């Protein structure tokens, strides 16, 4: 009888641990979080880092060529390299973990709108430290956007700007410093990622600091703050904090008019990262969508949460694809199409910021003071 009681006790204990997650204490699910993190590390993050470094190198080469031969042809090549690097950045910004977070990539290369007055003062005085807080909006892609597109009404004007006998050399030096800063960042990330990888894939819990928690938080921050608000809501007056005031001059890539392409690339990247798609290969790996399916996570009206997130983002992307003009022009119009885009993006937020994090037992660790 005594042995029978002991065996029953062992059975109960075994059932309890089979039903619970050893690390989070939540209900156990049939999902390999380490395999998920390995896929994100090796097939999503690392190739995204490598691609960013490659584009930064291309941008540097084109800048050197422009310095050596200021011409319409070299200007067009440089502009094309800037666009490619800026597009590639949109993907990497979603996975700002480890060395990408250590260099604070988003603030280092893509704070917009650029402050043209600060840029010109830096050029005139030649007394600047790009890493200082006062220059956060005077560097990176937006500053290059200003220099290569905003310094003249025509291409000839831009070439004359850099060929100016008094300030031309200062302007070329500032252009070179901006590009070198981007390349330095890309090199640091590339060099440090291999050492960080084991830490990332080895922390398989969902508590603060774990690989999953870092991914989910940075994913939410990028989508909510840097896409929905900065790219769309603030310029179009859709965000409640604007009070409906339009700020078309605050769009990303104001001078080049690439705002729509960059925003669409960002939302598309958000879907690819969510699905754990291999970078530059149409192969589907373990992603956040698979994790939600394993958790049997549902929306409040009992739809599969992962499907609802993808569908709503696709809907937002379709709204964006309807817009052909630069966002600065669209944002100037009353009843702007951008408000429709903002509303479609906003509908994603409770799904990823509340329902997804709740299902995964992940806490949001950033504050946005969004008010919406």
Q: What is the pLDDT of residues 316-347, one digit of tens each?
A: 999 999 998 899 999 887 667 899 999 999 99
Residue 13 has pLDDT above 60, yes or no: no
Mean pLDDT within 86-114: 97
Cα–Cα dist 114/132, whole Å:
15
Alpha-carbon distances of 222 from 93, 131, 171, 259, 362, rounded to whole Å:
7, 22, 32, 16, 16
Cα–Cα dist 368/124, whole Å:
36
Mean pLDDT within 256-261: 98
Residue 371 has pLDDT above 50, yes or no: no
Mean pLDDT within 136-149: 98
Mean pLDDT within 355-362: 97
Given this model, what pLDDT does residue 27 score? 55
Cα–Cα dist 345/262, whole Å:
15
Residue 366 has pLDDT above 90, yes or no: no
Backbone φ and ψ of 27, nearest 5°: -60, 135
- CB-based contacts of 128: which residues, under 8 Å, 6+ apart? 122, 135, 138
Residue 78 has pLDDT above 70, yes or no: yes
Mean pLDDT within 18-47: 78
Rg (CA), the chain: 23
Closest-CA residue to 24 (of 204, 211, 214): 204
Residue 124 has pLDDT above 50, yes or no: yes
The number of CA neighbours under 13 Å toward the Cβ of 352 is 27
Given this model, what pLDDT does residue 222 score? 97
Q: What is the pTM of this model?
A: 0.91
């Amino acid at each position: 009888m005594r042995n029978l009681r002991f065996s029953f006790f062992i059975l109960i204990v075994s059932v309890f641990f089979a039903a619970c997650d050893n690390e989070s204490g939540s209900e156990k699910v049939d999902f390999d979080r380490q395999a998920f993190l390995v896929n994100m590390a090796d097939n999503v993050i690392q190739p995204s880092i490598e691609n960013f470094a490659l584009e930064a190198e291309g941008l540097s080469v084109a800048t050197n060529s422009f310095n050596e031969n200021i011409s319409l042809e070299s200007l067009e090549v440089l502009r094309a390299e800037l666009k490619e690097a800026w597009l590639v950045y949109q993907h990497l910004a979603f996975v700002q973990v480890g060395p990408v977070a250590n260099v604070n990539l988003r603030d280092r290369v893509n704070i917009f709108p650029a402050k043209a007055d600060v840029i010109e003062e830096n050029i005139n005085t030649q007394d600047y430290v790009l890493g200082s807080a006062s220059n956060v909006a005077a560097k990176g892609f937006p500053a290059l956007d200003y220099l290569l597109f905003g310094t003249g009404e025509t291409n000839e004007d831009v070439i004359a700007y850099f060929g100016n006998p008094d300030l031309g050399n200062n302007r070329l030096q500032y252009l070179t410093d901006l590009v070198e800063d981007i390349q330095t960042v890309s090199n640091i990330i590339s060099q440090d990622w291999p050492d960080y990888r084991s830490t990332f894939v080895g922390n398989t819990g969902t508590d603060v600091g774990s690989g999953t928690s870092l991914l989910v938080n940075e994913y939410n921050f990028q989508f909510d703050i840097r896409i929905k608000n900065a790219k769309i809501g603030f310029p179009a007056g859709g965000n409640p904090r604007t009070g409906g005031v339009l700020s078309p001059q605050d769009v990303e890539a104001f001078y080049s008019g690439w705002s729509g392409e960059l925003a669409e690339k960002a939302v598309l990247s958000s879907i690819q990262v969510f699905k754990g798609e291999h970078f530059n290969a149409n192969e589907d790996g373990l992603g956040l969508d698979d994790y939600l399916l394993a958790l049997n996570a549902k929306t409040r009206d009992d739809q599969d949460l992962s499907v609802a997130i993808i569908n709503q983002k696709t809907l937002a992307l379709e709204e964006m694809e309807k817009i052909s003009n630069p966002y600065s022009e669209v944002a100037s119009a009353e009843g702007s199409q951008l408000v429709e885009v903002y509303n479609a993006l906003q509908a994603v937020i409770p799904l990823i910021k509340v329902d997804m994090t709740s299902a995964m037992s992940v806490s949001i660790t950033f504050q946005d003071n969004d008010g919406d």
